[in-house]
Structure 1
C-alpha cells in the first residue's frame, strides 16, 4: 500500500548531518527510513524523535558498501512505504592517518573509505532509482565536503572520496534527469563529534580559529547543513548537478 505522505531515506542517520536531516524532513511532512551500520540504539532514538514530529519512521541496518544489504534495505522501504521521494546519501567514514603520514596509510583503509563513501553512495542511488521515478518531485542529496573541492588537512582517502562524490553527483544528475534531481552539499568544519574525533585535543583551539576567519563568525552545525539538504529536496525544482558549499563563506574569502 502506498502512503500519501512523501518518504525519504537518510543513510548514516544515527548522528550528525544524517540525524539532523532526518528530523528536519520529518518536521517537513516526510516519513523517514533511518539507515545505520552499527549504532542501533542511536538510530532508534532518531526514529522516536521523528515520530514525535508526526512522521512514520523505520530503522534499517545496512552497510551501504554491501550491495546485497542495500537491495534488502530497499525491499523493506518499498514494503513499508510503497514509495520513495528523496534520498540523502550521508553515510561516510574516514581514517585516522593524517596526510603527513604518507607511508602510514594502509590500502585496506583506503579501500574501506572508498567502499563506503563512493561505492556505497552509487549503490544506494542505483537501487533507489526505480522507486524514485514514481515520485513527481524526486530528489537526491549527496554529502560531499569542501575538501572534495579544494585541498584541506584531511586524510587522503577521505578527500579523494569526496572529490569522487562531487564528480558522481554531476554525472548522476545528467543520467537521472529529468525525473530525479541530484545535488550535493559540501560542509566546512562542522561543530560536533565528527570534528572532535578528527581534531582531538586541538578541537576547541582550531574551531575557534576557523570561526574567526569565517565571515559569519562561526563554524557550521549539523542543523545548518540539514536546512540546506531539506531546501534542495523540498524546493529548488530547477536545480540539479550543483554542489552547495556550507561553510559561512570561509572558502570564498580565504
Structure 2
C-alpha cells in the first residue's frame, strides 16, 4: 500500500525508537503527529526536523496515557490539525527494573502505572482512533511490545505482563477491527539509546546483549522499518514480529 499522504499518530514519538519510527514513516510520505507525555520541547523539535528533512507535515501533541480522557482528546486534536487519521503506532511505554522475586518493591501503584501506560493506554487510543481509521478502509495499528511479553523475563513482572497483554490485544483487535483496519505488533529485544533501556541496570543490559546469538542489541532502524512494512501490508494482521538479534524464538 502506498503511504504517501497518510497521517500517523505515534505515541512516544520523541523517544529513541519513536523518533526512528517517525522518520521511517515520513520517508514514505506520511504526515506525522508526534505524541508526547511531558517533553513538549523535544517533541516539537522532532516534528520540526521531520518536516524539514522529509517535506511532510508534522506537529507535536500531548497525551498522558495515565489520564483516562487523554486518548480521545489527542485523537481529536490530530484530526483537527490534519483532517484524517490512517495509522496509529503505540510506542510509548513505562519501564522500571525490579527483580521478579522482589514483590515488595513491585507495589500496586507501580503495577497500575505500567498497566495504564503500556496496555490500557494503547487500548484507549485504539478505541478512540478506530472510527477514523476505518473511514478509508485502509487503517493500520502497530503496537510496540517487547520480547518480555513472550516469556517470564524482562525488567519486572509488571512490565512483562503488560507487554504480553499488548501482544494479545493485537490479536484481539485484529479480529475486532477487520477487515478495514489491520493490527500488528513489533516485539523488540534490548534496544540501546532509549529511555526504557536507560532505566535498566548496566549489568542487565550487558547480559541481554550477550545472550543474543548475534551478540548485540537489536537495531532501532530494523524495528522502525518493520513498522513501515506493517503499515504497507494488505494481508498481514494479528501478528507479532520479534526483532532481538536472536534471543527469543517463538
User: What TM-score does the superposition give when structure 2 sets the normalisation length?
Assistant: 0.92
Between 57-66 and 140-149, the greater mean CA deviation after superposition = 57-66
- 1:100 match: secondary structure: coil
CA contact (8 A) 1:26 1:55 kept: yes
Higher helix share: 1
- Structure 1, unpaired ranges of 5+: none
- 1:251 match: secondary structure: coil
Q: Which residue of 2 aligns with 1:84?
A: 85
Alignment length (residue pairs): 245
Compared with structure 1, are the counterparts of its residues 208 and 168 closer, same or farther at alpha carbon in structure 2 (3 Å cutoff)?
Answer: closer
Selected match of 1:196 from 174, 190, 198: 198
CA contact (8 A) 1:83 1:135 kept: no
- Structure 2, unpaired ranges of 5+: none
Q: Which residue of 2 aligns with 1:238?
A: 235
Superposed counterparts of 1:48-197, under 5 Å? 48-52=48-52, 53-193=54-194, 194-197=196-199
CA contact (8 A) 1:195 1:203 kept: no
**Root-mean-square deviation (Å):** 1.7
Between 90-99 and 112-121, the greater mean CA deviation after superposition = 90-99
Q: CA deviation at 1:247?
A: 1.1
Q: CA deviation at 1:101?
A: 1.2
CA contact (8 A) 1:65 1:123 kept: no
Distance 1:65 1:176 in 2: 24
Distance 1:174 1:153 in 2: 28
Compared with structure 1, are the counterparts of its residues 130 and 196 closer, same or farther at alpha carbon in structure 2 (3 Å cutoff)?
Answer: same
CA contact (8 A) 2:141 2:182 kept: yes
User: Could you give the per-residue CA deviations for residues 62-99 of structure 1, whole angstroms, max 9, x where no partner exists?
Assistant: 11232322111111111111111111011110233222
